Amino acid sequence: MARMYVESWAPEYGASVLHDSELIPTDGMVDPEVEQVQWSAVRPPADCVAEVGEVGFVDGVRRVDARLSVDDGHTIVPGLFGSLAVGATHWDRTVPRATFGEVRTERLALIAAGRSDVVPSAGLGYQSVAVPSDDPGELVRQLHERMRVAEAELAAALADRGCPIVVADGPVNSLKARSIVGLIKTHRVNYLAEPQLDAVRTLAAGDRTPLFLLDGARFARYSWYVKLAEVPGGHLWSGVCRCEVAAAVGLDRAVALADCSAVLLPTAAPALHTDPRAPQNLVPIAALEKRLRRELGDARLVYRALRQAAAEGTP
């Protein structure tokens, strides 16, 4: 008889895993034997993080502030006003204390069909960006991509300054040998088959799977799954996140980062009743998201200012 589960994530955030029929088969090579260990749950020793004095968490938020139409008398071209902010939370484990670090914001006026008109932006500093495509959906994708690029640049800057481990919300975006761990909360791609999936089923909180190598269209990465917390009544993927690092770091460093992630990340996981995306939406990242949304300003005031500037034709 089939079992039924109620997802721990709030409905407005979808589910942490797509249904089996929706999982996308990976389009690259997967090598599950790179760590050369038996495929079963791995429990790293707690002292593997003894030398990790700081952990950086990087995330970004984006917002569509208003839809834009450019009418040149012949055609109407779609566009949008969008804002984004990226920032970091620094977890000083020697104190212990977490503080917010640098925040970077951008305001963009994206216009389709390759147009780069000067737009009325209410003095808020929107930069006009020409998007070659005529597809209105591409405007949002471009805004999202600009946010991802800004996140990758900030994560790289933290790692280059000497932060021992940087946890970036989402896949890693650099092939360079940096200690940046990508944290993927939602499972969309099917990377493993039996018997490797058995190792995921047996994970307890604080366990990880062995590493597997992903060599696809982007670049080679080492990846692994971590169980962040026990979810009562959960299924195979409940409380599980996927992590990855660029393969350029080397196998030994990747294994060390995987061990550290299995010890550190569960301690940063929120209680199930405190966050709509618990336990995958880590506390330092959730707090950072709230801070970044404040940096974008009040959405209603921004929208009203843009409407007024467009009506008056003021920059």
Q: What are phi and psi of 303, to 5 degrees?
A: -60, -45
Higher pLDDT: 22 or 180? It is 180
pLDDT digits (tens, 9 = 90+) for 258-267: 999 999 999 9
pLDDT for residue 29 is more than 80: yes
pLDDT for residue 25 is more than 70: no
Q: What are phi and psi of 73, to 5 degrees?
A: 90, -15
pLDDT digits (tens, 9 = 90+) for 136-192: 899 999 999 999 999 999 999 999 999 999 999 999 988 899 999 999 998 888 899
Q: Are 90 and 54 in contact (CB under 8 A)?
A: yes
Q: Are 62 and 147 in contact (CB under 8 A)?
A: yes
How many CB atoms are located within 10 Å of the residue 24 CB?
10
The overall average pLDDT reported for the chain is 90
pLDDT tier at 21 (50, 70, 90 boundaries)?
Answer: very low
pLDDT for residue 67 is more than 80: yes
The pLDDT, as a whole number, for residue 170 is: 93
Tokens 């090579």: give the residue. Answer: 29
Separation CA 252–CA 48 (nearest Å): 13
- pTM comes to 0.91
